[in-house]
Amino acid sequence: MATPSLAERVLSGDVRSAARLMRDLDDRLPEAETTLRAIFPSTGRAYVIGLTGAPGAGKSSLTDKLIAHYRAAGKTVGIVAIDPTSPFTGGAILGDRIRMQDHATDPGVFIRSLGTRGHLGGLSRSTADVVQVMDAMGKDIVIVETVGVGQDEVEVAELVHTAVVVTVPGLGDDVQAIKAGILEIADVFAVNKADRDGADRTARDLQTMLEVRHTVGPVSSAGGGTWHAPGDGLAHPVEDLAWDPPIVQTVAVTGQGIAELAAAIESHRAHLQKSGAIHRREVARARAGFLMLLRERLLSGALEQLEEETGRLDEVAGRIARREADPYALADDLAARLRSR
Ligand SMILES: Nc1nc2c(ncn2[C@@H]2O[C@H](COP(=O)(O)OP(=O)(O)OP(=O)(O)O)[C@@H](O)[C@H]2O)c(=O)[nH]1
Ligand SMILES: [Mg+2]
């Protein structure tokens, strides 16, 4: 019998093969892409949950408790922990490992940290690939933890089925959340650190903001600045006004509210299935993933061409900065030539 291919081994759930594929993806090996293609038809089974929020809000602690919850229910879990802010120390990633170490030896749990933005497709692209690999491994649930509220997080939220936005008591975070357009992508809110003062107040403030949204309609792209321009066809397409995002108070360190959080996620999942919105969501996820790929391909093609004909990106940027080169003409020219290739 022939030795099973890497794709076959990943599909059988083999942890080492999955880890190897993820390393090859990091190293941009062409074989890695071939393997991704081979596993693709078998993906689309995992339920993907995003956890997004300010640094230190308690995302990893919540994830840890959610893992325990899903494991107790007999489900296997994959975790993608993203921390683009610490490429040097890896401190937060180490922190994640420590916080989730109870699960480190559990074969039903697979944890992968992504630390740097890396190549052209950016962090969202790498995240999409890792989610695919965990899905192919047969993980029932995949949890993606992202820090902060920037464009990357909004993009990552487009790759998930249920987006949980984690806030903590205190108004600052909420204002930040609205600014980045996070309100629109949240399917569930967790007000974590509810053992601190002000959790009720934060929950009420969020509720008020959601009610305003319901009466005046979506406010995306209004003030965020991180959103795609409306009308360019790239705006986040999954906002679902038929769903009222529940607000759950949690204390991640004790596990208080975790069952309620898991129930809120489950009821969102049930809503997606009952309303048929799950199909739109799947199309939206596919669309987001495809756009990331396309952007990466086009950009790398254009930059190769630029380098061949004009010079390296940094040299060209220097000339643009000195007003020796016209960025509009250069971009038009490159785009036109890519089209005719
Ligand atoms: N009092 C209290 N502390 C908490 C709670 N949840 C988490 N913490 C603490 O908050 C700190 C940050 O928790 P993490 O789970 O690492 O938060 P995070 O959002 O994953 O942090 P980053 O990944 O670094 O952005 C840790 O010291 C936790 O012990 C909570 O509900 N109450
Ligand atoms: Mg964390």
Taking CA atoms only, the protein residue closest to ligand 1 atom 2 is: 193
| Burial status of residue 322 (CB atoms within 10 A of its CB: 0-12, 13-18, 19 or more) | exposed
Please, are residues 188 and 248 in contact by the beta-carbon 8 Å criterion? yes
Please, are residues 191 and 164 in contact by the beta-carbon 8 Å criterion? no
33 membership: H or E segment, kind and range: helix 30-39
User: Over 70: is that where the pLDDT of 22 sits?
Assistant: yes
The residue with greater pLDDT, 119 or 13, is 13
Which conformational region is residue 80 in: left (phi greater than 0), alpha (psi within -120 to 50 degrees), or beta? beta
User: Over 90: is that where the pLDDT of 180 sits?
Assistant: no
Contacts of 241 (CB under 8 A, 6+ apart): 214, 217, 218
**Average pLDDT taken over every residue of the chain:** 83
Taking CA atoms only, the protein residue closest to ligand 1 atom 11 is: 56
Residues with CB under 5 A from ligand 2 (ion): 59-60, 96
pLDDT of residue 146: 85
The residue with greater pLDDT, 86 or 47, is 47
Chain centre to alpha carbon of residue 200: 28
The residue with greater pLDDT, 153 or 209, is 209
pLDDT of residue 12: 95
| Burial status of residue 225 (CB atoms within 10 A of its CB: 0-12, 13-18, 19 or more) | exposed
3-state secondary structure of 197: coil
Percent of the chain with pLDDT over 90: 47
User: Over 60: is that where the pLDDT of 134 sits?
Assistant: yes
Residue whose entry in the numeric block shows the structure tokens 């989610």: 131
Q: Which residue from 18, 70, 21, 25 is spatially nearest to 49, judged by alpha carbons? A: 70
Residues near ligand 1 (Cβ within 6 A): 53, 55-61, 92, 95, 99, 147, 192-193, 195, 251-253
3-state secondary structure of 51: strand
pLDDT tens digit sequence for 291-306: 988 888 888 888 888 9
The region of weakest confidence among 41-55, 96-110, 248-262, 295-309 is 96-110
pLDDT of residue 341: 72
Q: Which tokens sit at 325?
A: 């080169």
Most confident of 90-94, 95-99, 169-173, 294-298: 294-298
The Cα 92–Cα 60 span in angstroms is 10
**Ligand 2 centroid to residue 253 C-alpha, Å:** 13
Cross-strand partners of 145 = 51, 81
The Cα 245–Cα 162 span in angstroms is 10
User: Over 80: is that where the pLDDT of 237 sits?
Assistant: no
pLDDT of residue 92: 43
pLDDT band at 177 (very low <50, low <70, confident <90, very high): low
pLDDT of residue 87: 42
Q: Which tokens sit at 286?
A: 């596919």
